[in-house]
Each structure stands twice: as C-alpha cells, then as structure tokens.
C-alpha cells in the first residue's frame, strides 16, 4: 500500500471531463458502499442467531434415578414439575424427598433449592407434604389429605411468578409474583423403583449465550465487510484525486536492526522464558480453554458464566485457537511476545522519527526510549492479559493519526478508527485510543471541510463511519444485543466495580506494599509521570515546543498520554496491572524527556541536577515496595516479600542518599552558577550521564538478574525458567510435573519398632496427650487482606470484609475421615488417614489446660529401594507448633521434634540426634510437617516424635499422628489429562495438561478434583468463585464434599505450592443427566429475563 506525499499548498489538480466523471462515480461508490456497510453492520446485533436451547427432563428412565446437571446460571429459565400423590404414598412411612434440585445431603437444600418433601407422622405432630423453593414455603398440605388419592401437585416457576396448583386437594394452590426460581444442580429423589405414573420435572436451561450465526446474520457480516472494503478503496481514490504523488508506506530501511533493537528483542525473548507472568493469565487461559466446549467466551469463574462480549475479543478467541495445539505457557503467550516486538518496531520506525530530528539520530534518546520500554513492559505485559494489545493499539492508532496529518489523507485516519475500535473490544481500557483519535480530529476535520468542497461530505464521512462500525462484524458475529446488555447487567449487579471518580484508588494501590504496589510496577509509572512533568515544563518554558522536536507530534504525545490517564477513569476496575496500557506511550514520553534534559536543551547544570534528584527520589519510592511477583513467579526471587536491602540497608535508602546528593549539587550550581566543570573533566563527564537511561537499564538488569537467580536457586525444583524451557523443548506439564501426591497415606505410615499401632504413639512417656485432644475449630489463624489486590472482591461494609476468614479454610480443616479410632479417638483425621489404623494424640482439652509431654515409640524407616528410602518423613499435625520458616523467622508455638536413631538387635534403639520438621502452615489446621530424609545420617533407621506443650493458653496446643514416609506420584501421573478438574483461575496456566471441567449449553460436567493455589491465592479465588459471585464453587459445594490430598513440591519441601482436593459426591448414586439440545432461532432483542443474581 502507498500513500500520498504532501504537495505545495497552492497546487490543485486540473480535472478533465473524463476525470470528473470518474470522480463522480467514485464519490457515488463511496456513498453507496459506505451506507450499505453502515446499515449492514448496525443490523448485525439485532439479527437472529441459532441458539442451543438445552433442557433436562426427569425421570430419564422408567425407574427413578437421581441425576446431576449443575446449571451455570444457577437458576433455570423456567421449571415445571408434576407430582402425583402416589409419590407421596411411597414415602409416607419413612418420609423423604420426592423431588429436589439439590441433594438432600446438602445443608443448603432449602436455602437455594427446590424440594418437595414428605414429613411422616410422629407422636407429637401430623405428617405433611411441603413444597419449598429458596426458603419460601410454596404449598403445604396434611399428609392424610394426599394419601390414597388420585390427586396431583403441579408447579410452574419462571422469572415473573411461581405457581403451585393442586388437583383433588382442598387447598387448590398459591401464586407468588417474585422471582424465587431455585438453583438447579440436578434432580434428586428418595423414591426407588418404577416411577409413579405422571411424575415429571422439566428444567429449561438458560443457555442464551450458546449460539451461532444464522445465514441472514452471516450474509450481513459478509456484506458489511465487503462494503467497508469498497468504501475504503473509494476513500483511497478520493484521497488520490488531488494528483499528489504517493510515497512509501514503510519507512526507509525499516528492516535494518540497530543495537537498541537487538537489546529489546533479545531481552523480550529471554523474559518470555524466565520472566514473570501476570495475575490473570490463568483466568484468561481458563476462559479460552472453556470456550472449546461451551462454544462462546464465557466468564468461567464468575458472573454466572455470562458471555464476555463485546470485550475481550477477538484476542481471547485467538488464545482459544492456540489451545487447540497446546496450553503450555510459552505457546499461548507467544502473541504477547510478538506484540511486544511489534510495539517497539512501530515506536522506533514510525513514532520516534516523526517526533523530530533530535529523536531520529540521537542514540541516547533511542536507548532511553528502549530501556524505559523494557522496564515498563516486562513487569506488566508478559502474560495473557489485555494490556499488551491495548498498548500496541494506542500506538498504532496514534501512528495512523500522525500519518493522516502528515499526508493530509483520510484513509490513514480510517485505519486509526478501525484499530481504535478493535482495541476497545480487547478491554474497557482500550477507550484510551479515543485520545489519539481526538488529538488529530482538528486537522482531519479541516481536511474534510476542504475536500467536501469538491467531493461532498457524505463521500468522506460515510467510509469513516463504516470503518468504525466494522468492528460489529467481529463482536456480534455470534452474539446478540440482548446478550451483551445482560453481560453489563450481571457485572453491574455483582461487581466488583468502581465509579470513575474512584480512579485515585489505582494510584493509591500503587503505593501500597502488596501485589498492586510491587517495586517493578512502580518504576515504570513513576518514570512516566516524571517524564510528563519535565516535557510539559520544557514546553511551557520554550514557547510550547521542545527544541529539536516536531511541534505538533510532541504536543499530541503529551496530550494523548494525559487523555489516556483521564480516560482510564472509566475502566470499571482500578487494579494497577492495567497500567500496562501505558508501556508504549511511556517509551515515547521517555524519548521526549531525554531530549528535554539533554545538555543542548537543558543547559544549566542546576536543572539537570534537579532532574537527577527527582529520578533518584522516584527510585527511592520504587524500592520501598517489595520485589514481588504473582504466585509461582515469586518463587526463588530475592526480596519477594520485602523491600530490597544491601549490607543491612534498604536500597531505597541508597537511592534517597543519591537524591540528597544530587539536590546538594543543584543547590551548589544555583548559588555558584559560574563554576561550570570543564567538558573533558570527570565532573563534566558525570554531568553528561543520561540519568534516566542508566536508571532504566539498572532496573531492567535488576529484573532479569532476579529471575536468573530464582532459576538457579530453585533448581532442580520448579521455577519459571525450568517450567517454560521444559514445556518448549520436552513437552512438560508445568507444575503438575513437580507436585507429588501421596497416593496412599495409610500405607505410608511407618511400622512401630515395638508394640502395636495403637500403643506406639503414646510410647512409654506420655502425659497430658489424649486421643481426643484436638480442638473443634481448626480454622486458619491467617487472615489475608485483599485490599488493592487483583481480582479482590472484599470491600468496606461487605460480608467478606467483616469476616476476613471467609473462604480461607485450609486443606484438612473442613472434612476428615471419621470413625472409631484405633486408640479410642473420635477425631476426624485429614488427608484420608483411616482412624481404624491410624491413632492420634493431642494436648487440647475442654476447660483448664495442663502441661503435656509426649515421647512416642520408635518407628522403623523403610529399607532402601533402588538406592533410596524415600524423599521425606511426613507427620500430620494440628495446633500451633514452634518452627523457623524459610526466611529464618521464628514462629512461636509448642515444641515438636523428630528424633532419629539406630535400632538394636534387642528391640531398643539408640538416639543419634533430632531435627525440627518443616512447617508450611497454616496453624492450627491439619497440615503435614516434613523432614527431608537427606537430613538424617545414613545409619539412622528409626525415628520418633518428641513433643511438649507447656503453654496453658486455650489456643496453645498440638496434636500429631504417627510419622510416614510418603509413597508419591506426580500430579501428572495421578490426575492425568482426561480426568475433569476444577482449576482455580490462578493456577490454570501452571497446569496446562489437566482437563478443565467442560461446560456446554449452560450445563457443567462434574469435576473429580479441584486444584487451588497457595493460601494467599486461595483466599482470593475462594471469594471470587463463590456463590455470591456466581462462580463454580456455588454449585460444587452443593454437590460434593472435598477431601484434601497430601501433597509436596518436589525438592522444595518448605514451599506452599497450593493444594489439590478430591471431590466426593454427596449423592454417590446420582448419574450425569442426559441434556436435550434443540436449535432455536432467537432475534437480537430476545431475552428470557434477567439472570437472577440475588443469592
């Protein structure tokens, strides 16, 4: 493609009659094609789609069997039930559930579900039949009134009303005009045998988002695309009608790489494999993977799985296509790498030269821009979030606007409109592209007014409008207007979301010492804000222009950047990871800043010293934050949880010292301006050092070296580098290859050297420890604040804020294996340990506490097999136990040590020493303390537990079971790639081979396992995916109980990697329902009513 160069202003082409005829036809073509494109594109959201309307009919066989069918929207579109009185007769003696939409074993049956139940006669009351939906009694009748009769009860429920009618019964029925549709996770019944005649339940699933385009819609899409292309071709010819010569589309020598290019591209490539990911990578990958089965881009983890269009397309669709090949991190993040490369390519080839001669040839300017670009891009834009695409979109939009202004052509502006519209579909933050369009609007308007004198307004404006509406062909290809409006409704009702005037929160979070305020996130934004201030100040002092730069592009850059910050106010969430959209603009501002502070422009040394003062001060504020990253990205990183230090002093202190020193220099040159250093002297050379470039280079090196150190420190265990390189070159499965699952904890329990399992735990010296000495409340002490964290849902005044422990139960604290214990204990044991073979002793007791001591009997270690006795010794414990964490911090508690020794031939043992087990927490919940076997001498063949509880505080106690040497397999081997797994959104990227639970037509399959992140992350994912948010935990908790499996991270034994839970169905006899799917044509305005969000 070629564009016109700008001719002298006085030249006007002389049209012949033939040329005028051609021009008229082109104008007519532009008008007709533009109008057709507009009408076709505008009609697309309203045109019909083919919807997969799903439903469940019950009973599904001649016999009554319970079935599972968890609905993603919780409530159905409508539900009807016909219950003959013969069904009541069958349960009259024993009572029970005739039909329900939640298993009767769930404590939330009546809170969320629909149930028809029989309450049998008792000595103190007469029996009855109740019909209940969501704690609302719809209908009730004496059991005697419905027995042995030909009556029936009919229930109809939809979004508007619920009615119960009864035939053959005195109480004929009731009607309710509120939406009390129940949650449906299946249809369950206590009835057995053949189904009574007339018994039926019909559930119409809300599958409004499972749709595909009709032929009419496809025709409109094709027409809109073709007509838009024709209109743009006509616009090109109208642009060319002035007779000016065309010029190159690509800059001269655009392919030639400079040293800065090599550094940028090489750093991005290295960072792609060893660098940090972003917080929502798993979330977005989960949506992309789930779309393979659902057929649309649902929000899999919240908001009742609504379709996320018009946002997050088409880039999430691209990721979904990539997952058909593989879901490993280096592959699915490949577009982000390419976007980073292309963004710098556009900046260096198109933007910097257009900003002026000083930026085109000054190496310091180019290097400053490149290094700031890297320092900004690396912490924000190495994952699957939308920010890299928005950063590229705003740069491409601006570049196209500048091309339109420079050439006085409208086609580049039309391209800018297309890019801006597509960027807006990527994320709400794409709205910042409007600033770039507005920056060139005045000049483009002048061009249109001038051209309209000969071409008319319609031939110029209609193609531009068609270009803007062309995005509808992508956004609404298989969506409807009503579906998009429903997405906005559900998001607005549930949240989180903030109004525009809370934009200050984003900057407030940036200054907090948590996930939103990590130092690498701070640096880029601080440099951007500082650069903007310098550029504005320089422009104000120099008559609106920075010497050596182009007047218009420089002003527009500052205006676009400021406008982008203003437009970000309208993004509904205020998380700091959205600052990544500024990466490209920050590089351009850095280039202008480098010119502004160069000796040629900022001559006084005082001013340059003041700039250095500001840079070092910003650096000091940067290093007040921790060198943290998200989830597994932080493993092995130095100072991941604290501000960096050196020689006992914080790096922020050193930066502050440099700031004070630079300020002193500035004061000196302010007082003695005549004392200028000679050009060749050391002070003179220091004065010419490009401070911004040096500091940015240091930050880039700091980030790269942090992850290089992590790769070395973590080896041979899991690290970002190890996982990505393994996935790229040997087909690894990420974290699943490093997580070890204890396959049979009961078989791993060590045999006692003497005595039996019941008595060996008490040993010869045990006082104060009893079989039932475990407190009832094992909720974790840890209260993790979610203020300012990505995907946080707790806010002031919310229930979650009032109860910070909500959703933060630790593995093993909620469910356990119950039964009569081998040593008389009735305490449920965690991790599948069998009380019939595994004893437990604890120091807790009701009432006053007493001192307790325990020295267990000796337990024999296994003999070496293939040269190894195993990896670790594991002890299931509860309570608060003194331990030292991986950072050397002592956590108070009761004493527990593992003694090791050598067994004698007479059944006794000689103690050789002791070791403190590793405790990864949380207290006082059940967890597995562990001792690596390589910490024991080779001749040690027996171990025992020595514990004491001398603290009489009510919450100070401990409990333990016998030691084990776990028999383990990797998670990859145990779970495999076909077993359906509920992957919490934070872990999806790290478990690429596991089968994310499929959904189709509004109904989810049943998971066998759930994989959670570490405790900090699980606090967030539990809240985000819960019942209040319309997430998958809202239906899994109604169908299953969860049992935590004992797991360990291979060769990183003190790491809390996360946890895996095995789901045990509440109704083990229920089978997956057969879902009927019918294709139904729905117009774009059709809606079955709002999704019920009030749970």
**Alpha-carbon distance 426 to 810, whole Å?**
36
pLDDT digits (tens, 9 = 90+) for 954-1011: 999 999 999 999 999 999 999 999 999 999 999 999 999 999 999 999 999 999 999 9
792 within domain boundaries:
no
Give the closest residue to 261 by CA, choosing from 335, 343, 356, 333: 343
Instruction: Say whether both 63 and 190 belong to one domain.
Output: yes
Domain finish residue from 604, 632, 649: 604
Q: Is the dihedral of CA 374, 380, 384, 390 positive or negative?
A: negative
- Determine the pLDDT at residue 819: 66
Question: Beta 1071-1072 vs 67-68: how paired, if at all?
Answer: parallel
* Contacts with 900 (C-beta within 8 Å, 6 or more apart), sequence order: 911, 912, 913, 914, 915, 936, 937, 940, 942, 943
Instruction: Say whether both 248 and 130 belong to one domain.
Output: no
Question: What are the residues facing 57 on neighbouring strands?
Answer: 202
22 within domain boundaries:
no
928 within domain boundaries:
yes
- Determine the pLDDT at residue 361: 76
Instruction: Say whether both 185 and 235 belong to one domain.
Output: no
The CATH number of the domain holding residue 81 is 2.60.120.610
- pTM above the 0.95 mark? no
* Contacts with 25 (C-beta within 8 Å, 6 or more apart), sequence order: none
Give the domain range for residue 95.
54-204
Instruction: Say whether both 257 and 398 belong to one domain.
Output: yes
**Alpha-carbon distance 1002 to 80, whole Å?**
18
Q: Hunting for tokens 């260096």 — which residue is that?
A: 348
121 within domain boundaries:
yes
> How many other β-carbons are positioned within 10 Å of the β-carbon of residue 890?
9
The CATH number of the domain holding residue 938 is 2.60.120.940
DSSP code, position 188: B
Instruction: Say whether both 227 and 170 belong to one domain.
Output: no
- Determine the pLDDT at residue 779: 85
Domain finish residue from 543, 577, 604: 604
**Alpha-carbon distance 305 to 291, whole Å?**
11
**Alpha-carbon distance 243 to 13, whole Å?**
6
396 within domain boundaries:
yes
pLDDT digits (tens, 9 = 90+) for 638-676: 999 999 999 889 999 999 999 999 999 989 888 887 677
1058 and 1014 in contact (C-beta within 8 Å)? yes
Structure tokens at 622: 């940067």
Instruction: Say whether both 872 and 943 belong to one domain.
Output: yes
Instruction: Say whether both 457 and 593 belong to one domain.
Output: yes
**Alpha-carbon distance 732 to 992, whole Å?**
9
Instruction: Say whether both 148 and 108 belong to one domain.
Output: yes
780 and 922 in contact (C-beta within 8 Å)? yes
86 within domain boundaries:
yes
Question: What are the residues facing 83 on neighbouring strands?
Answer: 153
DSSP code, position 831: T
Give the closest residue to 983 by CA, choosing from 727, 725, 739, 707: 739
Positions in the chain short of pLDDT 70: 1-17, 19, 243, 245-251, 674, 679-684, 782-819, 867
**Alpha-carbon distance 882 to 896, whole Å?**
7
Instruction: Say whether both 158 and 186 belong to one domain.
Output: yes
- Determine the pLDDT at residue 816: 57
- Determine the pLDDT at residue 634: 94
Structure tokens at 682: 């050391």
Domain finish residue from 940, 966, 992: 966
**Alpha-carbon distance 221 to 215, whole Å?**
10
Structure tokens at 1061: 């839970």
148 within domain boundaries:
yes
Structure tokens at 867: 């040269």
Strands (DSSP E) contained in 192-342 are: 200-204, 211-213, 246-247
**Alpha-carbon distance 399 to 587, whole Å?**
14
Q: Hunting for tokens 């909620």 — which residue is that?
A: 814
Q: Would you give the end-to-end CA distance of the chain in angstroms?
A: 56
- Determine the pLDDT at residue 8: 44
Q: Hunting for tokens 């060590």 — which residue is that?
A: 750
H/E stretch holding 943 reads: strand 942-949
516 within domain boundaries:
yes
DSSP code, position 108: T
* Contacts with 669 (C-beta within 8 Å, 6 or more apart), sequence order: 604, 605, 606, 609, 675
- Determine the pLDDT at residue 764: 79
Q: Hunting for tokens 């081998």 — which residue is that?
A: 822
44 and 473 in contact (C-beta within 8 Å)? yes
Instruction: Say whether both 200 and 223 belong to one domain.
Output: no
Structure tokens at 1012: 């959670």
- Cα 147 to chain centroid distance, Å, stands at 54
79 and 179 in contact (C-beta within 8 Å)? no
Number of domains within the chain: 3
- Cα 919 to chain centroid distance, Å, stands at 28
| Alpha helix (H) residue ranges in 688-771 | 691-714, 720-730, 745-748, 757-760
Question: Beta 128-133 vs 136-142: how paired, if at all?
Answer: antiparallel
CA distances from 806 to 10, 322, 692, 810, 1029 (A): 74, 36, 46, 11, 14
Instruction: Say whether both 103 and 220 belong to one domain.
Output: no
- Determine the pLDDT at residue 807: 42
Instruction: Say whether both 160 and 258 belong to one domain.
Output: no
| Alpha helix (H) residue ranges in 715-835 | 720-730, 745-748, 757-760, 799-802
| Alpha helix (H) residue ranges in 120-279 | 143-146, 215-240, 259-274
Give the closest residue to 1023 by CA, choosing from 279, 284, 277, 301: 301
């Amino acid at each position: 493609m070629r564009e016109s160069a700008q001719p002298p202003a006085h030249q006007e082409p002389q049209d012949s009659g033939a040329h005028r005829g051609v021009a008229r036809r082109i104008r007519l073509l532009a008008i007709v094609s533009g109008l057709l494109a507009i009408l076709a594109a505008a009609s697309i959201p309203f045109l019909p789609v083919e919807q997969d309307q799903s439903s469940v009919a019950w009973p599904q066989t001649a016999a009554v069997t319970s079935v599972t069918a968890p609905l993603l929207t919780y409530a159905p579109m409508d539900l009807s039930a016909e219950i003959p009185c013969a069904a009541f007769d069958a349960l009259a003696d024993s009572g029970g559930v005739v039909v329900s939409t939640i298993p009767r074993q769930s404590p939330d049956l009546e809170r969320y579900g629909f149930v028809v139940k029989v309450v049998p006669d008792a000595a103190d009351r007469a029996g009855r039949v109740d019909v209940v939906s969501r704690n609302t009694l719809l209908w009730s009748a004496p059991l005697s009134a419905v027995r042995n009769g030909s009556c029936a009860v009919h229930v109809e429920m939809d979004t508007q009303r619920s009615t119960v009618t009864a035939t053959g019964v005195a109480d004929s029925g009731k009607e309710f005009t509120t939406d009390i549709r129940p949650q449906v996770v299946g249809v369950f019944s206590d009835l057995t045998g053949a189904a009574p005649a007339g018994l039926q339940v019909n559930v119409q699933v809300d599958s409004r988002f499972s749709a595909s385009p009709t032929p009419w819609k496809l025709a409109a899409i094709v027409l809109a695309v073709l007509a838009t292309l024709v209109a743009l071709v006509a616009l090109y010819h109208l642009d060319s009608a002035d007779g000016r010569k065309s010029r190159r589309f690509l800059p001269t020598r655009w392919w030639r790489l400079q040293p800065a290019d090599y550094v940028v591209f090489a750093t991005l490539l290295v960072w792609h494999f060893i660098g940090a990911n972003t917080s929502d990578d798993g979330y977005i990958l989960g949506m992309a993977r789930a779309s393979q089965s659902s057929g649309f881009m649902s929000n899999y983890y919240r908001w009742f799985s609504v379709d996320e269009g018009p946002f997050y397309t088409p880039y999430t669709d691209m990721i979904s296509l990539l997952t058909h090949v593989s879901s490993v991190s280096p592959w699915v993040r490949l577009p982000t790498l390419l976007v980073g490369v292309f963004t710098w390519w556009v900046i260096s080839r198109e933007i910097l030269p257009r900003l002026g001669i000083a930026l085109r040839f000054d190496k310091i300017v180019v290097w400053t821009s490149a290094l700031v670009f890297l320092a900004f891009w690396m912490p924000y834009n190495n994952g699957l979030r939308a920010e890299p695409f928005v950063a590229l979109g705003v740069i491409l939009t601006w570049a196209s606007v500048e091309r339109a202004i420079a050439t006085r052509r409208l086609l580049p502006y039309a391209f800018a409109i297309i890019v801006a519209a597509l960027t807006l579909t990527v994320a709400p933050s794409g709205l910042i592209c409007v600033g770039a369009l507005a920056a060139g609007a005045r000049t483009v308007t002048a061009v249109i007014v001038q051209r309209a004198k000969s071409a008319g307004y319609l031939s110029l404006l209609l193609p531009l409008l068609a270009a803007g509406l062309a995005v509808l062909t992508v956004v609404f290809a298989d969506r409807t207007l009503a579906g998009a409006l429903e997405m906005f409704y559900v998001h607005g009702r549930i949240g989180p979301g903030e109004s525009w005037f809370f934009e200050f929160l984003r900057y407030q979070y940036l200054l907090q010492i948590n996930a939103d305020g990590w130092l690498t996130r701070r640096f880029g934004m601080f440099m951007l804000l500082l650069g903007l201030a310098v550029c504005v100040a320089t422009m104000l002092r120099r008559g609106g222009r920075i010497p050596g730069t182009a007047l218009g592009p420089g002003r527009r850059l500052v205006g676009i950047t400021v406008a982008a910050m203003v437009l970000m106010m309208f993004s509904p969430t205020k998380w700091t990871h959205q600052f990544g959209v500024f990466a490209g603009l920050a590089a351009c501002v850095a280039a202008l800043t480098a010119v502004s502070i160069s000796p040629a422009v900022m001559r006084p040394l005082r001013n340059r010293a003041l700039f250095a003062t500001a840079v070092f001060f910003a650096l000091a504020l940067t290093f007040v934050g921790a060198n943290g990253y998200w989830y597994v990205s932080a493993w092995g990183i130095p100072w991941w949880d604290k501000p960096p230090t050196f020689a006992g002093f914080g790096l922020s202190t050193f930066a502050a010292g440099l700031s004070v020193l630079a300020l002193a220099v500035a004061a000196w040159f302010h007082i003695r301006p005549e004392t200028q250093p000679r050009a060749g002297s050391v002070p003179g050379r220091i004065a010419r050092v490009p401070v911004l470039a040096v500091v940015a280079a240091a930050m880039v090196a700091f980030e790269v070296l942090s992850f290089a150190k992590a790769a070395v420190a973590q080896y041979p265990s899991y690290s970002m580098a190890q996982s990505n390189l393994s996935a790229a070159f040997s087909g690894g499965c990420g974290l699943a290859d490093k997580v070890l699952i204890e396959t049979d904890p009961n078989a791993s329990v060590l045999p006692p050297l003497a005595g039996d399992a019941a008595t060996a735990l008490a040993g010869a010296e045990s006082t104060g420890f009893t079989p039932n000495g475990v407190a009832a409340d094992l909720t974790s002490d840890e209260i993790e604040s979610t203020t300012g964290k990505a995907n946080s849902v707790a806010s002031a005044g919310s229930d979650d804020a009032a109860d910070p422990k909500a959703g933060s139960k630790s593995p093993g604290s909620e469910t356990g294996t119950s039964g009569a214990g081998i040593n008389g204990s009735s305490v449920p044991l965690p991790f599948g340990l069998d009380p019939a073979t595994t004893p437990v002793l604890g120091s807790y007791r009701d009432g006053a506490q007493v001192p307790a001591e325990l020295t267990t009997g000796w337990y024999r270690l296994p003999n070496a097999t293939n040269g190894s006795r195993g990896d670790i010794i594991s002890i299931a414990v509860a309570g608060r136990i003194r331990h030292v964490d991986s950072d050397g911090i002592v956590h108070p508690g009761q004493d527990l040590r593992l003694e090791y020794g050598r067994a004698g031939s007479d059944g006794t043992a000689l103690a050789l020493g002791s070791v403190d087990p590793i405790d990864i927490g949380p207290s006082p919940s059940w967890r597995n303390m562990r001792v690596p076997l390589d910490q024991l001498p080779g001749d040690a063949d027996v171990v025992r537990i020595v514990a004491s509880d001398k603290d009489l505080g009510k919450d100070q106690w401990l409990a333990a079971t016998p030691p084990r040497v776990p028999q383990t397999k990797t998670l990859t081997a145990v779970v495999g790639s076909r077993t359906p797994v509920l992957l919490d959104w934070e872990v999806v990227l790290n478990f690429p081979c596991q089968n994310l639970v499929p959904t189709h037509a509004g109904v989810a399959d049943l998971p066998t396992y759930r994989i959670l992140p570490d405790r900090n992350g699980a606090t967030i994912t539990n809240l985000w995916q819960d019942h209040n948010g319309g997430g998958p935990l809202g239906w899994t908790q109604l169908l299953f109980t969860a049992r935590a499996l004992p797991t360990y991270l291979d060769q990183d034994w003190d790491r809390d990697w996360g946890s895996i839970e095995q789901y045990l169905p509440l109704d083990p006899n229920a089978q997956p329902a057969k879902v009927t799917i019918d294709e139904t044509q729905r117009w774009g305005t059709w809606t079955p009513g709002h999704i019920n969000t009030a749970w």
